[in-house]
Amino acid sequence: MDLEREGGRGANQLRPIDCSRNVLSRAHGSASCSHGETRVLAAVYGPKAGTKKNENPEKACIEVIWKPKSGQIGKPEKEFEMILKRTLQNICLLNVHPNTTTSIIVQVVHDDACAALIDAGIPLKYLAESGKILLDPNKLEEQKTKAFVCLAFPSSVHSVLTEGSINGIITSLTHGVMAVDDYFQCVEQGRAAITPLSNILKKKLQSQSAE
């Protein structure tokens, strides 16, 4: 299948990724990540004392605040917050700091494709377009497709889970209609793409911490 994508990417190629840490001075932790044109800034404050009302005080609570570039906060933003929160809850060890709240604030700087980029999790996006599967779409491609899948896998380096779910999927979010086979193929491609992605991130973050 010959596909012509913008920028000459093949069906299985990712956009260029850039990542930098510690960009903000007041936040306890911060990172700026960009996938091609999409840029996202994230900051972490915590652990702070106390949990929210309905949360379990035996565990740490993670609070995610998603800020869009402009406009009011609406339902899509709430959905992203929930997705991120659930993804992160599975990744982090929650028993280490009970009764605390860690706030993660994500600010979308430029939105070329729905991006859920966080330091720990490595979500990837796929789309299935009448039989062809493209990895890591940008906005135009996303708009043209029939369906897309957003998958988050744990990478063996970053995750702390030891319960044998190394190859499992943490989060899967789909839009549109696709065949079951297509879905599994997306999962396979995603899993395969995890390694280069995590290697890139690891290299960037390590080189920064060495400074």
Partner 1 sequence: MEQRLGSTWRMTVNEKKFIETALLSDLRTDGRGPFDYRNLTIQFGSEDGSSEVQLGQTRVMGFVTSQLVQPYRDRPNEGSLAIFTEFSPMADPSFEVGRPGEFAVELGRIVDRGLRESRAVDTESLCVVAGKWVWSIRIDLHILDNGGNLVDAANIAALAALLTFRRPECTLGGEDGQEVTIHPPDVREPLPLIVHHLPIAVTFAFIGNESTVVIDPSHFEEAVMGGKLTATLNTNGDVCAIQKAGGEGVMQSVIMQCLRIASVKAADITDKIKKAVGLDGGVVEVAHERYESGLWTLILKNGGVWLLILLTNWSSKEAFCSFTLLHLLEKLRNKTFVLVGKAAWKGVNNLSKEMEKPKMKTEDRSINQDDMEIEIHSSKKDGSSLGDNKPKAFTGGPSSWDPYSKGVNVDELKASLASRAVVTPKEEMDTSPPLKPATDESLKDADPAPSSQETAGTTEHTNEAKTLKDAVKPKHKRKKKKNLHHLFETLLETRLSRCCNVNLLCSLELAIVACN
Q: What are phi and psi of 187, to 5 degrees?
A: -60, -45
* DSSP H helix total and E strand total for the chain: 3, 9
Instruction: Using CB under 8 A, pick the residue from 2, 4, 8, 52 that binds partner 1.
Output: 52
Let me know how long the chain is: 211
Nearer to partner 1, 52 or 95 (CB): 52
Query: Counting contacts by CB under 8 A, is residue 110 touching partner 1?
Result: yes
**Is residue 24 at the binding interface for partner 1, with CB under 8 A as the rule?**
yes
67: contact with partner 1 by CB under 8 A: yes
Q: Give the span between the Cα atoms of 155 and 170, in whole angstroms.
A: 11
Instruction: Report if residue 17 touches partner 1, rule: CB under 8 A.
Output: no
> Is residue 49 close enough to count as binding partner 1 by CB under 8 A?
yes
Q: Which strands sit side by side in the sheet containing 38-49, from one edge to the other?
A: 17-21, 29-35, 38-49, 100-110, 61-67
27 contacts partner 1 (rule: CB under 8 A): yes
Our finding on whether 97 is near partner 1 (CB under 8 A) is: no
Q: In the set 48, 139, 158, 202, which binds partner 1 (CB under 8 A)?
A: 48
135 touches 193 (CB < 8 A): yes
> Binding of partner 1 at residue 103 (CB under 8 A)?
yes
